[in-house]
Amino acid sequence: MPRRETDLAPAHASPAVRKDVEAQPPIPLAPVGPRWHVVRMWISTLLLNAPMAAPTAADAPPVAVGAAVATAQLEAGTSSLGPLLVDTAHFTPWMSLAGGLMIGVSSLMVLWLFGQTAGISGITAAVVRGEGAKSGGWKLGLLVGLVGSGAVAAFAAPELITSSTSSWALLAVAGVCVGLGTRTGGGCTSGHGVCGLGRARPRSAIAVPVFMAFGALTVFALRVLGGGA
Amino acid sequence: MNPLRTFFGLFAGVLFGAGLLLSGMTQPSKVAGFLDVTGRWDPSLAFVMGGAVVVFGIGAWLFREREFAILGDVVERAPKPRIDARLIGGSALFGIGWGLSGYCPGPAVASLFSFDTGLLIFLATMAITMVAHDRFLAWRDADG
């Protein structure tokens, strides 16, 4: 009798496996007419940062909080306190490098043309204070260009702009932190991170590790406590 | 307003925005992935900053002896390297806000036309806080 059961087991298992394979949807055929969705798909897979990772257990909302979550994630291998676990599914080195080069050229334009090492936080603050039209209006122009490029993307390639998963209350607090922090600290990721580091300024060499460390601590705390970005 | 200067500013802004969009900075989950060093770490944003710093660094080095910029402005000199509580506390506070939301000022402004409610809340509180801070400093300096 036990022999028979082991004989039956593979025969029982194999149809289930085949059923799984058959359950996959067939590859859809492109409809006749303008194939914008094909162009969009092509752009997002070849050029842009389309998410390619399937959701995993770690993406599910945590049921426990605090140390229990941290321990569970360490045991599941989705968290590590030792070697870095590189997220290869979301890693986009070439697109990010290309974007970085463009940001560098733009910051350089501001230095070469207007003689300023200005970050976005300083420019935004100046425009919101109503001083955007000063010194020929380049700050206002820059901010309009920044918003405009995002507006084009919001319609042409909306997958490039995603929403934060944090709650509105957290985002309101975050806005206060970023607004006050960049003004008292004298810069943000562009002012300190690009211009300051690029000119080897000591203040930026302090500021960048500080905001990166506090950013990392905050993300860690959110992941462990739940409600993360 | 000077049309030429506004146009150059606009061009720089479009280039900056395109760079942010292409690099993935306008996706808060990607920013969180970069900051999540103990989780599944996405190193992409190190390439953004690395690329930008190298380009800007070389260009700024070539420009180091210039007194006047191309359009005639005086080139801004480096401020005194003052490492104080304002610098460290401000940067720490900015880091906390960055981690909470996944937004720093550039990508947040560039994302305006997504009209995402959470983003608009972030932008509103950021802008109000910036103006409040600057007005407070101006008031304090005018008083004392």
Question: Tell me, what's the ipTM?
Answer: 0.95
**What pLDDT does A48 receive?**
44
Q: Which of A171, A212, A194 is nearest to A120 (CA)?
A: A194
- Rounded-to-integer distance, Cα A32 and Cα A188, Å: 48
Residue A53: the pLDDT is: 43
With 80 as the cut, is the pLDDT of residue B92 above it? yes
Going from the C-alpha of B90 to that of each of A126, A202, B49, the distances in angstroms are 18, 16, 20
- The C-alpha atoms of residue A86 and residue A90 are separated, in whole angstroms, by 9
Facing A214 at nearest CB: one of B37, B45, B92: B92
Among the partner residues B6, B53, B95, nearest to A218 by beta-carbon distance: B95
**B contacts of A113 (beta carbons < 8 Å):** 5, 8, 12, 69-71
Number of A/B CB contacts below 8 angstroms equals: 538
* Cβ contact, residue pair A203, B83, below 8 Å: yes
Other CB atoms closer than 10 Å to residue A227's CB: what's the count?
15
Cα diameter, chain A: 92
**Separation CA B113–CA A102 (nearest Å):** 21
Contact A102 B57 (CB under 8 A): no
Task: For B9-144, list the strands marked E by DSSP.
Answer: 40-41
Give the model's pLDDT for residue A65: 59
Residue A17 pLDDT greater than 70, yes or no: no
| A11 confidence band (pLDDT: 50, 70, 90) | very low
Chain centroid, CA B65 distance in Å? 25
Contacts of A198 in chain B (CB under 8 A): 52-57, 59-60
pLDDT at B114 over 80: yes
Find chain B residues with C-beta within 8 A of A127's C-beta. Answer: none
Give the pLDDT band of residue B19 (cuts 50, 70, 90): very high
Instruction: Match 């705390």 to its residue by tokens.
Output: A221
Average pLDDT over residues B103-130: 96
Q: Is the pLDDT of residue B103 over 50?
A: yes
Residues present in chain A in total: 229
Least confident of A62-71, A81-90, A96-105: A62-71
Residue partners of A131: CB distance under 8 A and separation at least 6: A139
Percent of chain A surpassing pLDDT 90: 49
Query: Mean of the pLDDT values across residues B80-100?
Result: 94
Q: Which of A129, A168, A178 sits opposite B105 (nearest CB)?
A: A178
Tell me the three state secondary structure of residue A85. Answer: strand
Q: Please indicate whether, in this complex, the C-beta atoms of A150 and B91 are within 8 angstroms of each other.
A: no
Q: Which candidate, B53, B55, B20, B44, places its Cα nearest to that of A93?
A: B44
The pLDDT of residue B61 is 94
- Average predicted confidence (pLDDT) for chain A: 78
Angle (CA) A160-A163-A168 rounded to 5° is: 160
Give the bridge partners for B74, in sequence order.
Answer: B68
Least CB-CB distance to A92: which of B24, B70, B103?
A: B24
Which residues on chain B are in Cβ contact (under 8 Å) with A189? 49, 98, 104-106
Q: Which of A15-19, A93-97, A221-225 has the lowest mean pLDDT?
A: A15-19
**pLDDT at position A178 over 50:** yes
Residues of A in contact with B84 (CB under 8 A): none
Decide: B49 and A191 in contact? Cβ < 8 Å: no
Full DSSP string of A66-77: THHHHHHHHHHT
A203-217 mean pLDDT: 96
Distance to chain B for A62, nearest Cα, Å: 14
Mean pLDDT value across residues A125-148: 92
Within 13 Å of residue A74, how many CA atoms lie on the same side as its CB? 13
Query: What rounded mean pLDDT belongs to chain B?
Result: 93
How many whole angstroms separate alpha carbon B48 and alpha carbon B43? 10
Give me the residue from B16, B48, B98 closest to A178, CB to CB. B98
